[in-house]
Amino acid sequence: MSLTEEPVVARRPYRWVVLALAWASFTMTAVDRSTWGPASVAVGEHLGVSLAGLGVFATGYYVGYVVSNAAGGVLTDWLGPRVVVGCSLFLAGGFMILFGGTDSVATGIAFQAGVGVFAGCDYSAGVKLVSQWFPAGDRGFAMGVFMTATSLGTVIANAVVPSLIAASGWRTSYHVFGAVSMVVAVLCLLLLRDTRAAYAARAVPDLRPLARDRDLWLLGLAGFGALWGTYGFITWSNALMIKGSHLTPVQAGTVVAIFGVAAIVAKPFMGMVSDLFGGRRKLPAVAVLAAFVVALLVFGTRDSLSGFLWVAPFLGVAAYVYSPLMIALIPELAGVRLAGSAAGATNAFWQLGSTIVPVVLGAVFQATHSFFWAFATLAAGPLLGLVLLLGVREHRAGARVAAATALAG
C-alpha cells in the first residue's frame, strides 16, 4: 500500500464538531453497554437467573455487537459515517427501551442482542469520521478523546444506575439511557457531514487488501486479548465484588466509576504523547498491556473496599489507554479510504474477547469460588495481546504518519 493512498487532511475548525458528535454517540453506546454491569444482579433477581447465568445476557449483547462490527465498517465506507452513526444509535436506543420492559429471559437476551447489533456500527463510523477530518499526525490525540467515550460510559453507568435502581428499579435506567441515545442520534443526523472526498469516493469497498494484510490480522487478534480483560472486568466486576467480597451495589459501583474516571484523563494524554513522538504506537501499547496484566492480578488479591479503591485508578488507566494507540494504527495501516471497514473488521476480532469472556468467567467463578482466579483468567487476555502486538510491523504506520504530516504542514 503506497503512501499516496493517505490523503492530505486540512485542519478545519469543523473537525471539533465532528469529534464532539462522534464522541457523544460513542459515549451513549458505551453507557448502554455498561448499564448491564451495575444492573445485572437486580435484573437476575427479577428474572430468576443465577449468578453464572447472568453472563449469557452480556454474551447476547456481544454476539450482536461482533456480528454488526464487520458489516457496519463496510456500510460506513459505502454509505458514509453520518448515516451509519445516526441510524444505528437510534435503533440501539430503541432496543434499550424494549429491554427495560421485558419480563422474559429469552426475550431479554434477544433484546440485548438487538442493542449490540446496532451499537456495533457506531465505533467504525466514529473512527472513519476522525480519520477523515484529522491529519495523521493529530490522530493519536483525536482518537484518545474519541475513546474516552468507553470509559466515560462506564463512569456514567456506575454512578447513576445503582441510584436509579434504589429509587425506582432497574427498568428506569434502561428507559432513560435508551431515550437519551435516540436524542443524540437525531442530533448526529442533523449536524454531522462527511467530507467532499468521502462523497466522491462512495462505493462498495474492495476488501481484498485488508484480507491479505498480516499486520491487521495481528492487530485484530491482539485486541481480542486486550478487550478480554477490559470488558470482562466491566461485565463481571460489580457482581464479583458484591458476591465474592460482600460489597454493597453502591460501593461496587463507586470502585468501577473510579476505574473509568482514571482512563478519561489518560486516554487523550497517551494519544497526544504518541503524536509528539512521531506517531509511535506499538511499544507504548505493549507496555500498557503488561501493566494491565499486573493490575488485574493485584486487584484479584484485594478483599476490602479500601483495597479495591487504591487499585482501581491504576487498573482503569491500564485497562483503557492501549485503545487509542491501537486504534490510531488502523487508518495508518489500511488507509483512510478503508478505515471504516478495517476498524469494523479488527473490532469484530477484538469483541470476540468480550463475547466469550462473560460465560468463561462465570464458569470459572462458579467452579472455583475464587475471586483471585477469576481475575487471573481476565489477565490471560492482555498477556496474549501484548505477545501478538509485538509482531505488528509498525514501521509501515510510522512512515505513513511522517509523510502525511509533512504534506499537511
Identify how many contiguous H helices and E strands the chain contains and give both numbers. Answer: 17, 0
Total domain count, the chain? 1
- For residue 312, is it within any domain? yes
- For residue 1, is it within any domain? no
Number of Cβ atoms within 10 Å of the Cβ of 167:
8
pLDDT at 98: 95
**d(Cα 168, Cα 355) in Å, to the nearest integer?**
30
Half-sphere exposure in the Cβ direction for 153 (13 Å, CA): 27
- For residue 200, is it within any domain? no
- What DSSP string describes 345-403? HHHHHHHHHHHHHHHHHHHHHHHH--HHHHHHHHHHHHHHHHHHHTTS-HHHHHHHHHH
**d(Cα 11, Cα 6) in Å, to the nearest integer?**
15
pLDDT at 202: 56
Q: pLDDT tens per residue, the chain (409 residues)?
A: 343 344 545 567 888 999 999 999 999 998 998 888 888 888 888 888 877 677 788 778 878 887 787 777 788 878 888 899 999 999 999 999 999 998 888 899 999 999 988 988 888 888 888 888 888 777 778 888 898 887 788 788 888 998 898 888 899 999 999 999 999 999 999 999 876 655 545 555 656 766 677 788 888 889 899 989 988 887 788 888 887 788 888 888 888 888 878 878 788 887 777 777 666 778 888 999 999 999 999 998 888 888 999 999 999 899 988 888 888 787 777 666 666 677 777 777 777 777 788 788 888 888 888 888 988 999 999 999 999 999 887 655 444 444 443 444 4
pLDDT at 178: 95
Question: Containing domain of residue 102, as a range?
Answer: 11-192+207-408
- CA distances 239 to 250, 298, 303, 328, Å, are 12, 18, 14, 33
* Residue corresponding to grid cell 484479584: 300
* Residue corresponding to grid cell 474519541: 146
- For residue 34, is it within any domain? yes
pLDDT at 265: 78
- For residue 33, is it within any domain? yes
- For residue 130, is it within any domain? yes
CATH number of the domain at 84, please.
1.20.1250.20
Q: Can you say whether residue 248 is alpha, beta or left, with left for phi > 0 and alpha for psi between -120 and 50 degrees?
A: beta
- For residue 198, is it within any domain? no
- For residue 201, is it within any domain? no
pLDDT at 355: 72
Hey, what's the cell of 33? Answer: 453497554
Q: Which amino acid is at 163?
A: S
